[in-house]
Amino acid sequence: MADAAGLSGLILSGKSPCPPHSKIAKTARSTERTVPWSSTDDLLAELKEAKGKGAYLMALEITDESQSLLEFDLPPISSDHPLYLIAGNEASGVAQELLDICDVSVHLPMYGQNTSMNVAVALGAAVYLLLGNTA
């Protein structure tokens, strides 16, 4: 999905596997070799540094203050002010310490009985909605 959407890179943290990994090789279709990625044990520090350099931090998480991505107006994004979209893990979502430093929280509206969806599916949908928002 990162390659298909033309993302500039990925930051992997927590329990996310890093290349080379059999599950990544199976699903990434060789794009793990072309999409820049990094891994960090201290995502909070890395995001604080990025924010200090002008990055816009967006959490993909349903919160009391989150905005629907269907109605969200994305601020101007550029190489000087890149967008970092933060997705949490399946069980606990985005950690509160990360939510606290984000500029905004956004969510995909849920119309069925379930209150959330698989993180990978949600991330893919969010990325494409954001791409449409920048056009």
- pTM: predicted TM-score of the whole model, two decimal places: 0.90
pLDDT at site 135: 56
- Three state DSSP letters for 6-29: CCCCEEEECCCCCCCCHHHHHHHC
pLDDT at site 97: 98
DSSP 81-106: S-EEEEE-BTTTBS-HHHHHH-SEEE
Distance CA 54, CA 78 (A): 10
CATH topology of domain 42-134: Alpha/beta knot (3.40.1280)
First to last CA, the chain: 18
Domain ranges in the chain are: 1-40, 42-134
Q: What is the mean pLDDT of each run of 10 residues along the chain (135 residues)?
A: 89 81 72 85 97 97 95 93 94 95 97 89 95 77
pLDDT at site 63: 93
